[in-house]
């Protein structure tokens, strides 16, 4: 039985054992060849090894997404190795959990560089190759923090919001060339799949011991009653990357269990 993405080559940036690893695994299960890209070489390498162990085809490459030379080299390597690139998932991000009054200019610039410069550089270089073939899909990973004013997360929220309009503008630029640009919005995410994936990769997770307790406000506030998992986002990414979504561009798909859509004064389950 053919997968929806058989014969396609997908670059995924930010392939930690959490969301990025889940996206890469889902695209691979649908038949895509995966190029796992991460600033942490172990994340890129072990994501690719895990996909290969499951019967998929994958390559892991370390890359600083803010360095244009490194980005250009990754895209060139992908095209030399596999011939082309069909799908780009811009997922690379960095966190510091600080607000307006506590974020330094250096911290602000670092986060903007990873999330905005990184998405721009990879989109620019991958799109040049996609335009040559008159086909391709770019998927930008947002966050519910990009749709709402989250306190104590100023740079991350701002960058994710900016990526929403980057998606729309890039979609208009590339639509005459047969290339689609869309975005996918995750939310607070269940950690069970990440724990299993990290154990399989042999990665130690630096998580607070009371993590499940800390996540309870998110669980209580989500309309569908449970937090999404990376595999939920992966299923949506496969759809967006496939021919099933051939008429979808310049828009966002929220896989947030209703988080953004709910009325602000309503607390589900209260």
pLDDT at 211 over 90: no
Domain encompassing residue 65: 9-254
Q: Is 269 within a domain?
A: no
Categorize the per-residue pLDDT at 1 as very low, low, confident or very high, splitting at 50, 70 and 90: low
263 is catalytic: no
DSSP-H helix ranges across 66-209: 68-82, 105-112, 118-133, 154-174, 192-201
Whether 126 is covered by a domain: the verdict is yes
Rounded to the nearest 10 degrees, the angle between the axes of helix 19-29 and helix 41-53 is: 30
Q: Is residue 267 part of a domain?
A: no
Element at 136 (helix H, strand E): strand 136-141
Q: List the CATH number of the domain containing 17.
A: 3.40.50.720
Please tell me which residue in 84, 156, 233, 263 is annotated as part of the active site: 156
Q: State pLDDT tens for residues 29-41.
A: 999 999 999 999 9
pLDDT, residue 212, reads 86
Check if the beta carbon of residue 105 is closer than 8 Å to that of residue 153: no
Whether 10 and 32 have beta carbons less than 8 Å apart is answered as yes
Residue 68 lies in a domain: yes
pLDDT in tens, 182-206: 999 999 999 999 999 999 999 999 8
pLDDT of residue 176: 98
Q: How many domains would you assign to the chain?
A: 1
pLDDT at position 269 is 75
Do 256 and 187 meet the contact criterion of CB atoms below 8 Å apart? yes
Mean pLDDT score, 209-219: 89
Q: Give the residue-averaged pLDDT of 235-249.
A: 98
**Is 1 within a domain?**
no
Classify residue 131: in a domain, yes or no.
Answer: yes
Position with higher pLDDT, 77 vs 97: 77
Residues 216 and 247: their CA atoms lie apart, in Å, by 38
What's residue 209's pLDDT?
87
Residue 136 placed within a domain: yes
Q: What is the C-alpha to C-alpha distance for residues 249 and 147, in angstroms, rounded to an integer? A: 19
Question: pLDDT confidence of 66, banded at 50, 70, 90?
Answer: very high
Helical (H) or strand (E) element with 51: helix 41-53
Q: What is the pLDDT of residue 207?
A: 84
Q: Does residue 262 sit within a domain?
A: no
CA–CA separation, 74 vs 80, rounded Å? 10
Q: How confident is the model at residue 208 (pLDDT cuts 50, 70, 90)?
A: confident
CA gyration radius, the chain: 18
Indicate yes or no: pTM above 0.95.
yes
């Amino acid at each position: 039985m053919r997968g929806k993405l058989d014969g396609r080559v997908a670059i995924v940036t930010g392939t930690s054992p959490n969301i990025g690893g889940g996206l890469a695994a889902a695209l691979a299960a649908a038949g895509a060849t995966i190029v796992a890209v991460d600033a942490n070489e172990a994340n890129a390498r072990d994501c690719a090894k895990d996909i290969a162990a499951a019967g998929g085809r994958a390559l892991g490459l370390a890359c600083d997404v803010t360095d244009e030379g490194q980005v250009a080299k990754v895209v060139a390597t992908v095209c030399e190795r596999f011939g082309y690139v069909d799908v780009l998932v811009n997922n690379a991000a960095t966190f510091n959990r600080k607000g307006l009054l506590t974020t330094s200019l250096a911290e602000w610039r670092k986060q903007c560089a990873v999330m905005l410069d990184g998405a721009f550089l990879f989109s620019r270089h991958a799109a040049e190759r996609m335009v040559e073939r008159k086909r391709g899909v770019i998927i930008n990973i947002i966050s519910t923090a990009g749709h709402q004013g989250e306190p104590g997360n100023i740079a991350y929220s701002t960058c994710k919001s900016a990526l929403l309009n980057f998606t729309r503008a890039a979609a208009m630029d590339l639509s005459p060339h047969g290339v689609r640009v869309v975005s996918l919005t995750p939310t607070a995410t269940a950690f069970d799949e990440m724990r299993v994936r990290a154990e399989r990769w042999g990665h130690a997770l630096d998580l607070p011991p009371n993590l499940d307790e800390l996540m309870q406000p998110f669980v209580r506030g989500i309309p569908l009653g449970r937090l999404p998992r990376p595999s939920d986002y992966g299923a949506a990414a496969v759809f967006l990357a496939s021919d099933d979504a051939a008429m979808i561009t310049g828009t966002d798909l929220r896989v947030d269990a209703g988080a953004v859509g709910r009325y602000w004064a309503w607390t589900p389950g209260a």
